[in-house]
Structure 1
Amino acid sequence: MKRRQFLQSTAMGFGALSLPEFPKGAASNRMGIVVHSYASRWNSKVESAKYPGFQNAVDLLEHCHQIGAGGMQVVVKDWSVDFAKKVRDRREKLGLYVEGSIGVPKKAEDVPAFENEVKNAREAGAQILRTVCSGGRRYEIFHSEQAFLDFKKSALVSLQLAEPILRKYKVKLAVENHKDWQANDLVAALKQLNSEWIGATLDFGNNIALMEDSAHVVQALAPYMFSTHIKDMAVEEYPDGFLLSEVPLGKGILDLPKLVGICQKHNPDITFSLEMITRDPLEIPCLKPDYWATFEDVSGREFAQALQMIRKNKSASPLPRVAQLRPEERLAIEESNIIESLKYSKEKLGLH
C-alpha cells in the first residue's frame, strides 16, 4: 500500500591546533546541559531572586557547576577574545567541558566571521561545535520535494565552506538532526563530505517528529557523532496527528540505557548533553497531506509502524503545558525538570 493511500484510509480512525584532553573520570563522565534547556532563563528579563537570568556563558557555566552538571553546550556568537579567555579560565578551574553552538557560512563572504567564531570558541576550550542546517522543522518550512532537495544542496555548500576553517583550527563541527534530516539523509551527507572534522550531533528524540524510530536513528548516526542531545519524549494523539513533548529523563518512551549504551560503544568518551526544553507540546500534523510533501519514499508500512508506536506509548497523563503559567512558575518547572534529569542520569545511566 502506498503511503498516501494508507494516510487516507487511517486518518478518520486516528483522531504520534589540538587542545588538552579533559581529565578522565571527571566532567567527561557527567551529563552536561545544552543552553536550550534554559529557554526561559537564558537572557531572561524576568526579575527573579531564586532563578536569575543567565546573561552569558560564564553565568551558565557557574550554574552547571552548582547543580553538578559536567559541562555545557552554548552559543558562541559575538564572543570577544577576552570573553573567550574568561570562559576558558573558569572552565579549567571548575573542570567542566565546553561545547559551542554555531551557525555555518551560507556564502563565501560569511567565512571570515565564521572563522572568528571558531577561533574564539577554540580559545575557550571548545573542541566541538554543534550546528544546524535549517532554521525550522522540515514539515513546517518545506512544502515540496524540490524545496527540500534545494535545502540539502545549500547545506552541503555551507559545510564545504566551513571545512577548511575547521581543519585549520582542529575543531570538529557536529551537524544536528534538527527535525530536518532523516537519519539516512544525514549519514549520506556526511559520507559525501568525507571530512574527519564534520560529523553529527545526535539528538535522541527529534526524529520522532519525522516518523523515525529513535533506536534506528541512534544506530545510524552513532558512528558519526561528535556530540549528543540526550532527552526523553512523551506523545499523545490529536486530530491532525500527534503531540510531542520533552519530559524529564526516565518519564518518557525512550529506552535511554539502551541508547546511551549504543553511543558509548561507538565512542566511550562521548559527552552527553541534556536538552530538556520546558514548553508546550509540539504538533506533528502527520495526518495532513502537506506534512508529507518532502517524504515521498515513506511506505505505508513505515507509517503504520510509526502510528502504532504513538498509540502504544500514549502518555497516561496529559502532556505538560506551561505557556499559561506565570514567568516565575515556568522558571521553577524548568529548573525542576533539569535537576530531575541530572538525578536520573547519575542513578540510572551511570553518568556521574
Structure 2
Amino acid sequence: MRLGLETESCHLSFQHGRMDIFKFIEFTHELGLDGVQINIVPDYNLDPNWGTLGSVDPEHLKKVKALINKYNMYVEIDTKNLEYDHLKEVIEVSHLLGADIIRTYIPIVSNVRNEVESGSEGAYDPAKIRQDFDTKCFDEGVEKVKKLIPLLEKYRIKIALENHEYETSEELVDVVKKVNSQWVGLHYDFGNSMMVWEEPVQAAENMAPYTLTTHFKDHIIIEDPSDKYGHVVCGVPAGEGNIDLDAVFKIMVEKSDLKRINLEMCYPYCAQFKRSPGTGGVFKVGEGAFKVEKQLFDYDFIKPLQYYYPHEVSEELLEELIVKQMEGVRTGVKYLKSLRDKYCRD
C-alpha cells in the first residue's frame, strides 16, 4: 500500500505564500510518502483556474513532472464538477503530469436545497421536492460522466466520484452502477459521510468495492450555536478524532482493490451538515464518530466556521495555525503509517 499527501493538508501554507507545488512535493518526499494528490480547485490567493498546481504552462508542467519522477512518486488530481470542457482540459493536464486518477464530485446546488428545506409545508411537500431535486442531480451526473468515458479511455485515466459532504454512500454506489464503466469508480473520503449523517464505517462498507482512491482524515463534532443544527463537523489530526480509522482502513484493505491511501488532513477546518438528520442513518449527535467534543479555540475569539481562514481573525492566529497545521500533517502521516504497518505486508 503506497501512501500519499493531498495539497489541501497544507492549505494555509499554500494560501499565504509559504509553499508552492515544488515545495509541497519536496515536503511529501521528506515525510517518506509515495505520492501527491494535487488539488486544482481555486481558493484564496491560489491560481484562479489551477489552484495549488499554479499553472498549466508547458514548461511549468514539465518541471512538476520531473520532480515527481525524481522521487518515483504517483500523482493524482483533485477537481470539482462534471462539465465536459473543464474535465477535458483536466484530463489532458493529468495526462501530461502522469496522473491516472482524477477525483471530482457531482455538483449540488445547495442554495436550492436550502430554499426547499425552509419552505412552507402548507404550500407544497418539501420532502417530495427534495427527493425530486436529488434524483435530478444524480441523473444528470450519470449522463455527464458517461459523456466523458471516451476521453478517459483514450488517455487511460479514471474518474473517482467523491462523497463530498452531500452524497450518501448508497447514492454514489447507485451512480457508479448506472454508469457501468471500468473508467469510473468512487473516491472514499474517510470523514465526509458525517456531513450527511452517515457513519464513516458504514460508508466504507458500501463504497469499498467501487473505491479507486481516498482522502484519509479524522473528525469530531463540536458545538456551534450559530448553526441551524447547533453543531458542526470539525477536522483534527488523524488519530485524534472519533472516526474509527482502524476499522475503516481495515475495510479498505480487505474489501477494495486500493493500492494507495492519501492523507487529506483537514485541520483547521469545520463544515456544516449538508442534509437533514437521519439522511445517512444517524439522527442525532452524541455517539461514535458523532460524539461531541469541546471546541478547538475560544468561541469568543474565533467561530468554528472561521477556522479555515484564520487570517480573517488575526495575523497572529494565522501564524499559530500554520505551525499547528504542519504539525498535524506529521502526526497524521505517523498514524497512517502505523495502520499500514498493521494491515499491509508492504
Give the TM interval when normalised to the shorter protein. Answer: 0.7 to 0.9
| Alpha-carbon separation, structure 1, partners of 2:106 and 2:329 | 27
Q: Gaps (5+ residues) in structure 1?
A: 1-27, 46-51, 286-290
Query: What residue number does 2:47 align with?
Result: none
| Alpha-carbon separation, structure 1, partners of 2:82 and 2:162 | 16
Q: Which moved more, 1:248-257 or 1:87-96?
A: 87-96
Residue 42 to residue 238, structure 1, CA distance change in 2 (3 Å):
closer
The alignment-based identity, stated in percent, is 22
CA deviations over 1:85-142 (Å, ceiling 9, x no partner):
3222211211222111234543xxx43x533331221221211111122267699767
Pairwise mapping of residues 285-296 of structure 1 onto structure 2 (< 5 A)?
A: 291-292=275-276
**Any idea what SS the aligned residue of 1:284 has?**
coil
Query: What residue number does 1:10 align with?
Result: none
Deviation, 1:331, is 1.1
| Alpha-carbon separation, structure 1, partners of 2:253 and 2:112 | 31
**Any idea what SS the aligned residue of 1:251 has?**
coil
Deviation, 1:284, is 3.1
Residue 67 to residue 140, structure 1, CA distance change in 2 (3 Å):
farther
Asked whether the equivalents of residues 241 and 284 of structure 1 are also in contact (C-alpha less than 8 Å), the reply is no
Asked whether the equivalents of residues 217 and 263 of structure 2 are also in contact (C-alpha less than 8 Å), the reply is yes
The root-mean-square deviation of aligned C-alpha atoms, in Å, is 2.8
| Alpha-carbon separation, structure 2, partners of 1:310 and 1:242 | 15
**Any idea what SS the aligned residue of 2:292 has?**
coil
Pairwise mapping of residues 120-131 of structure 1 onto structure 2 (< 5 A)?
A: 120-131=93-104
Residue 172 to residue 238, structure 1, CA distance change in 2 (3 Å):
same
Query: What residue number does 2:156 align with?
Result: 170
**Any idea what SS the aligned residue of 2:12 has?**
coil
User: Normalising by structure 2, what TM-score?
Assistant: 0.77
CA deviations over 1:311-349 (Å, ceiling 9, x no partner):
97222x433554345222221111111111111122344
**Any idea what SS the aligned residue of 2:333 has?**
helix
How many pairs are equivalent? Answer: 300
**Any idea what SS the aligned residue of 1:199 has?**
strand
| Alpha-carbon separation, structure 2, partners of 1:162 and 1:147 | 23
Asked whether the equivalents of residues 80 and 120 of structure 1 are also in contact (C-alpha less than 8 Å), the reply is no
Pairwise mapping of residues 1-352 of structure 1 onto structure 2 (< 5 A)?
A: 29=2, 31-45=3-17, 52-54=18-20, 57-75=21-39, 77=50, 79-106=56-83, 110-111=84-85, 113-134=86-107, 143=116, 144-145=129-130, 146-239=132-225, 240-267=229-256, 269-284=258-273, 291-292=275-276, 298=279, 302-304=281-283, 306-309=284-287, 313-315=291-293, 317-320=294-297, 322=307, 323=310, 324=313, 326=316, 327-350=318-341
Q: Which moved more, 1:169-178 or 1:59-68?
A: 59-68
Query: What residue number does 1:4 align with?
Result: none
**Any idea what SS the aligned residue of 1:318 has?**
coil
Residue 88 to residue 134, structure 1, CA distance change in 2 (3 Å):
same
Q: Larger relative contact order (C-alpha < 8 A, sep ≥ 6)? A: 1
Asked whether the equivalents of residues 79 and 117 of structure 1 are also in contact (C-alpha less than 8 Å), the reply is no
Q: Which moved more, 1:158-167 or 1:68-77?
A: 68-77
| Alpha-carbon separation, structure 1, partners of 2:161 and 2:115 | 19
Q: Which moved more, 1:251-260 or 1:78-87?
A: 78-87
| Alpha-carbon separation, structure 2, partners of 1:121 and 1:298 | 35
CA deviations over 1:155-211 (Å, ceiling 9, x no partner):
223212221110111101101100121110000000000010011110011111111
**Any idea what SS the aligned residue of 1:149 has?**
helix
| Alpha-carbon separation, structure 2, partners of 1:220 and 1:127 | 24
Residue 303 to residue 184, structure 1, CA distance change in 2 (3 Å):
same
Deviation, 1:260, is 0.8
User: Normalising by structure 1, what TM-score?
Assistant: 0.76
